[in-house]
Structure 1
Amino acid sequence: MDAATAGLLAAAVGVGGTLGSAWLVQRRADAIRREEWRYLERTRVADLSAQRRSGVVEARRAAYIAFNAAARHYLASLSDHVHALRLGTEAPQPTFDVIDAARAEYRQWYAEAQMIVPDEVLTQVRAVNTGIGSVYGVLVRLTHGTAREGEDITAAQSRIKESWRALSLMRAAMRADLGVTAPSHG
């Protein structure tokens, strides 16, 4: 091989090496950019998911607070009516007006709770609803003189106590769902 051919061959290999290394560097840079975009997209999706979860938890928390307050008010109204019946109040209608207002608010929050609470909590919410509905039915019948056998003021008071216990169990389930520990009493 003569010197000119060897020089030309060395130049071709040098240019090829330079172009090849530029191409390899460009491919690696593209691969790094693609990986960065995938990472950014995963991060964005994870952030959106966390925001959605946070929004869901906050919506549940608000619904839990509203439902608990409405249930407590409704149950207290029923309890007040039992006391009015026990005292023999001549006009139980004013307490029934309060009960009906509390019941309407309660039913609104119960309907919302049915839509957003998880099944574990919904089981407790339904237990509260069943208990309060039972008390309401007994009190309506007692007020209108159409009580069934075994339905009296003592039975109504017993059902109210059961409903308060169910309400406590429901609140515990709600706190557990939110990841909140029970308040300490000590």
Structure 2
Amino acid sequence: MDGAIASVIVAATGVVGTLLSPVLAQRSMARVARTTAEAEQLGRREEREENVRISAFQEKRQVYAELNSLARVARNAMKDSVRYYHKKGEVTEGDMSLVTSARLAYQECYDNAQMILPDHILPLASRLNGSLAKGFHLIKSLATQGTPTPEEIRDHCEGPILQMVTEMRTAMRKDLGVSS
């Protein structure tokens, strides 16, 4: 009888195993499919995050380059107006127009950049903005009142403005990982 019971148990186990194997296989395949879908979703999320990071870096690099370039253009326009003053004895309307255009271009860029500049760059850009504004007002005063002296304006362009342009450029390059 022991042999008969054992045969029945073995047969029942075989039948249960045969019946359960498709169910177990299906559950295993569902688990593999779920794991694969989760891995693909994670990969897509990481790719989106990387694209956002790259886009933000490119935008920051573009703003940095534009700020640096327009600050230099404004500084050069001021220096040129002083040089022309020495030649002509006055700041002409054309000279003033060039200085104003350069100043406004920088100001517009600075206004837009304030929203994305990091906290350690924003104060530098703000001080440069103030220094450029002072230079602009000095030239405007020279054009309308004949004061201050052109040398004072030149010294402002070669001193505070140049110092701020250089300091801001160095900080922006470091932020971008271009220099140490």
For this structure pair, what is the TM-score category when the shorter chain's length is used for normalisation? Answer: 0.7 to 0.9
Of residues 80-89 and 119-128 in structure 1, the stretch that sits farther from structure 2 once superposed is 80-89
Equivalent in the alignment of 1:69: 69
Paired with 2:6 and 2:94, the residues of 1 have a C-alpha distance of: 113
Residue number in structure 1 paired with 2:167: 169
Structure 1: which 5+ runs fail to align?
none
After superposition, residues 76-115 of structure 1 pair within 5 angstroms as 76-87=76-87, 89-115=89-115
Counterpart check, 1:13 vs 2:13: yes
Residue 130 to residue 111, structure 1, CA distance change in 2 (3 Å)? same
CA distance in 2, matches of 1:145, 1:59: 42
Name the stretch that deviates more: 127-136 or 26-35: 26-35
2:151 corresponds to: 154
Counterpart residue identity of residue 165, structure 2: L
Indicate the SS of the match to 2:114: helix
Equivalent residue of 2:145, what SS? coil
- Evaluate the alpha carbon distance shift between residue 135 and residue 179 of structure 1 in structure 2; reply closer, same or farther with a 3 A threshold: same
Deviation at 1:167, TM superposition (A): 0.5
**How much has 1:3 moved relative to structure 2?**
7.0
Q: Deviations over 1:11-53 (max 9, x none)?
A: 2211112333443333333222222222211111111111111
Q: Bigger shift: 158-167 or 5-14?
A: 5-14
- Please tell me whether the aligned partners of residues 91 and 142 of structure 2 are also in contact (alpha carbons under 8 angstroms): no
SS of alignment partner, residue 179 of structure 2:
coil
Cα distance in 2 for residues equivalent to 1:24 and 1:91: 90
**Is 1:130 aligned to residue 127 of structure 2?**
no
Could you tell me how far apart the structure 1 residues matched to 2:18 and 2:146 are? 101
Q: CA RMSD in A?
A: 2.4
Structure 2 unmatched runs, 5+: none
Partners of 1:50 and 1:138 lie apart in 2 by 47
Structure 2 CA distance for aligned equivalents of residues 24 and 93 of structure 1: 87
Aligned residue-pair number: 179
Are 2:136 and 1:139 aligned? no
TM-score by length of 1: 0.83
Deviation at 1:152, TM superposition (A): 3.3
Partner of residue 116, structure 1: 116
Are the structure 2 counterparts of residues 127 and 90 from structure 1 closer, same or farther at C-alpha, using a change threshold of 3 Å?
closer
Alpha-carbon distance in 2 for matches of 1:91, 1:15: 104
Identity of aligned residues (%): 27
TM-score (norm 2): 0.85
Name the aligned partner's letter for residue 169 of structure 2.
R
